[in-house]
């Protein structure tokens, strides 16, 4: 009667609980199951009620609780091919066990919830990484839409979390030092020194002493008391070895030893000194080809290229050139105290330029424009001759008169004329322009160029 009163007074609460609930009396008869019981076990309440617990659920631990009067927590039971985990608690009245209640949950639901939690944590982690990725770049880095550059920055971000050696590869002016500083700034050594060494700018005879330092009297003109090298100055921090492909072959062997032993010896010295330096190297040369030509040590290459990061040229980031232009205008304008805008047609022309000097050249072009600007607006006539030459060549070759950037049809006609001059047959033209022959015939007819092709 005691248990029935409890059930009656609490039934609305019991039915609202998501977990399954089963209550048995002191005789092991099932006297109550809630709606969640059917959802979890797949067994109707009518098949439970009035029957012995062991009859409906073989292996149930409710009889044990009724006998001992002690609760059981986290017990695994199998109910109708379902694995459930139960907490079983006795009902005690006037010192006597009057029954027991089992509160249970499908283990698969728990696993599913755990998986959802893991997925949520993974999503949150990914979103934090994306947020960090988008906010981490300083004013020297543009996060645009170019997939190759996005991958470069993501790899750089991953590299910042470890201390492995990094090799940055890319053309001159692509921003290798900017990426190196990005890696250092967002790593555990951010508050430690960042030392830059341009291996191409220092004479071979001096590079060794610059890198490793020298002792007193090591050579004629040596500073009294000696001097620490760049590796010592970078201790606990990062050393950036730019233009590593220009390092003399014999000095490469000494650098390899430093990378292997993490020790340096000053020129003229007799003892090794332990150092803790993260090495980031950069080059615009093909080191693999240099290895094959025996001008760069293979073992050093593999020591340097633990993490390889390729920085795309600016001409490979055409879709983001306008962002680099704006970034350069903002940065240089702030330094010069000028507020300048660039017209859309000037941006079009700047986008078509090939930038052999990459970002460094783009920034130089924009600085020239800002320095000479008088009206706060950079238009096509304000651009340097080497950029403006594109338009002049187009005008000359197409033999058209236009005041602004050429139309798409004008550019197509120019490309077709150039192709006719360069290739002997329609098949070669179609192949190199990556279009079908039918498209080529249609374009030639459209621009009246079919007679210019001799075949």
Tokens 């590593």 locate to 244
Share of the chain above pLDDT 90, in %: 38
Q: What is the mean pLDDT of residues 201-220?
A: 83
Measured N-to-C along each axis, helices 204-212 and 249-261 cross at an angle, to the nearest 10 degrees, of 10
Q: Are 213 and 227 in contact (CB under 8 A)?
A: yes
pLDDT-derived band at 105 (thresholds 50, 70, 90) equals confident
13-22, 110-119, 317-326 — which is least confidently predicted?
Answer: 110-119
CA 206 to chain CA mean position, Å: 38
Number of Cα atoms under 13 Å in the Cβ half of residue 455: 15
89 vs 394, more confident: 89
How much is the pLDDT for 179? 94
How much is the pLDDT for 136? 46
Q: Is residue 360 over pLDDT 60? A: yes
CA distance 135 to 454: 57
Q: What is the mean pLDDT of residues 327-331?
A: 91
Q: Are 78 and 119 in contact (CB under 8 A)?
A: no
DSSP string spanning 60-114?
Answer: -SHHHHHHH---EEEEEEEETTEEEEEEEEEEEETTEEEEEEEEEEEHHHHHHHH
75-84, 367-376, 408-417 — which is least confidently predicted?
Answer: 408-417
Cβ-Cβ contacts under 8 Å for 145 (sequence gap 6 or more): 319, 320
CA distance 213 to 189: 22
CA distance 296 to 287: 7
The predicted-structure confidence for 366-407, as pLDDT tens digits, reads as follows 999 999 888 899 988 888 877 766 555 554 444 444 445 556
Q: Is residue 35 over pLDDT 70? A: yes
Q: Are 325 and 359 in contact (CB under 8 A)?
A: no
| The token pair that represents 287 in the structure block | 């080191």
Q: Is residue 280 over pLDDT 60? A: yes
Q: What is the mean pLDDT of residues 18-43?
A: 87
Q: What is the mean pLDDT of residues 56-73?
A: 89
Share of the chain above pLDDT 70, in %: 88
Cβ-Cβ contacts under 8 Å for 362 (sequence gap 6 or more): 314, 321, 324, 325, 328, 350, 355
Mean pLDDT of the chain: 84
Per mean pLDDT, which of 152-161, 222-231, 263-272 is the most reliable?
A: 152-161
Burial of 339 (0-12, 13-18, 19+ CB in 10 A): exposed
At 398, is the secondary structure helix, strand, or coil? helix
pTM of the model: 0.58
- Sign of the alpha-carbon dihedral angle for 332, 283, 320, 131: negative
Torsion of CA 200, 368, 144, 286, to 10 degrees: -20
pLDDT-derived band at 227 (thresholds 50, 70, 90) equals confident
How much is the pLDDT for 445? 80
How much is the pLDDT for 222? 66
How much is the pLDDT for 401? 43
Q: How does DSSP classify residue 297?
A: -
How much is the pLDDT for 225? 73
Burial of 269 (0-12, 13-18, 19+ CB in 10 A): middle
Q: What is the mean pLDDT of residues 323-342?
A: 91
At 26, is the secondary structure helix, strand, or coil? coil
pLDDT-derived band at 314 (thresholds 50, 70, 90) equals very high
The predicted-structure confidence for 247-278, as pLDDT tens digits, reads as follows 999 899 999 999 999 999 888 888 899 999 99
4-13, 329-338, 438-447 — which is least confidently predicted?
Answer: 4-13
How much is the pLDDT for 262? 93
122-136, 325-339, 345-359, 382-396 — which is least confidently predicted?
Answer: 122-136
> Any bridge partners for residue 104, and if so which?
20, 86
DSSP string spanning 304-354?
Answer: HTTEEEEPPPGGGGGGGHHHHHHHHHHHHHHHHT---EE-HHHHHHHHHS-
How much is the pLDDT for 413? 77
Cβ density class 230-245: b for 16+ within 10 Å, e for less: bbbebbebbbbbbbbb
Name which of 439, 161, 146, 440 is nearest 311 in CA terms: 146
Q: Residue 236: which region, alpha, beta or left (left: phi > 0; alpha: psi -120 to 50)?
A: left
How much is the pLDDT for 170? 93
pLDDT-derived band at 333 (thresholds 50, 70, 90) equals very high
How much is the pLDDT for 139? 54
- Sign of the alpha-carbon dihedral angle for 367, 371, 372, 375: positive
């Amino acid at each position: 009667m005691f248990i029935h009163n409890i059930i009656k007074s609490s039934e609305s609460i019991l039915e609202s609980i998501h977990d399954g609930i089963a209550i048995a009396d002191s005789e092991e008869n099932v006297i109550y199951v809630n709606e969640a019981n059917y959802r979890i076990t797949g067994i109707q309440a009518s098949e439970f009620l009035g029957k012995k617990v062991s009859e409906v659920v073989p292996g149930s631990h409710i009889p044990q609780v009724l006998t001992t009067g002690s609760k059981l927590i986290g017990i695994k039971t199998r109910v109708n091919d379902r694995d459930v985990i139960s907490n079983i608690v006795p009902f005690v009245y006037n010192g006597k066990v009057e029954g027991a209640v089992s509160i249970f949950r499908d283990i698969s639901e728990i696993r599913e919830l755990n998986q959802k939690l893991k997925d949520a944590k993974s999503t949150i982690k990914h979103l934090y990484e994306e947020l960090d990725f988008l906010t981490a770049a300083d004013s020297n880095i543009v996060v645009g839409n170019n997939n190759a550059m996005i991958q470069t920055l993501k790899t750089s971000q991953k590299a910042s979390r470890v201390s492995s050696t990094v090799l940055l590869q890319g053309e001159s002016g692509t921003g290798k030092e900017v990426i190196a500083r990005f890696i250092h700034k967002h790593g555990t050594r951010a508050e430690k020194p960042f030392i830059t060494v341009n291996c191409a700018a220092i004479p071979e005879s001096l590079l060794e002493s610059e890198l490793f330092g020298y002792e007193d009297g090591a050579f004629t003109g040596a500073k009294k008391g000696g001097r620490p090298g760049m590796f010592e100055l970078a201790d606990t921090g990062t050393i950036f070895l730019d233009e590593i492909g220009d390092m003399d072959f014999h000095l490469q062997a000494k650098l390899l030893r430093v990378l292997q032993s993490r020790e340096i010896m000053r020129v003229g010295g007799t003892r090794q000194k332990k150092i803790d330096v993260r090495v980031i190297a950069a080059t615009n040369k093909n080191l693999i080809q240099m290895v094959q030509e025996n001008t760069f040590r293979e073992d050093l290459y593999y020591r340097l290229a633990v993490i390889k990061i390729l920085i795309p040229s600016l001409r490979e980031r055409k879709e983001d050139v306008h962002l680099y232009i704006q970034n350069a205008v903002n940065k240089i304008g702030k330094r010069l105290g000028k507020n300048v805008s660039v017209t859309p047609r000037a941006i079009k022309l700047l986008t078509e330029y090939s930038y052999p000097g990459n970002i460094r050249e783009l920034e130089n072009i924009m600085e020239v424009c800002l320095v000479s600007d008088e009206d706060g607006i950079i238009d096509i006539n304000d651009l340097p001759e080497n950029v403006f030459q594109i338009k002049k060549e187009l005008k000359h070759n197409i033999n058209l008169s236009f005041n602004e950037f050429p139309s798409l049809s004008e550019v197509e006609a120019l490309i077709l004329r150039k192709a006719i001059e360069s290739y002997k047959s329609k098949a070669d033209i179609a192949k190199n322009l990556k279009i079908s022959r039918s498209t080529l015939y249609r374009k030639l007819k459209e621009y009246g160029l079919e007679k210019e092709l001799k075949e």
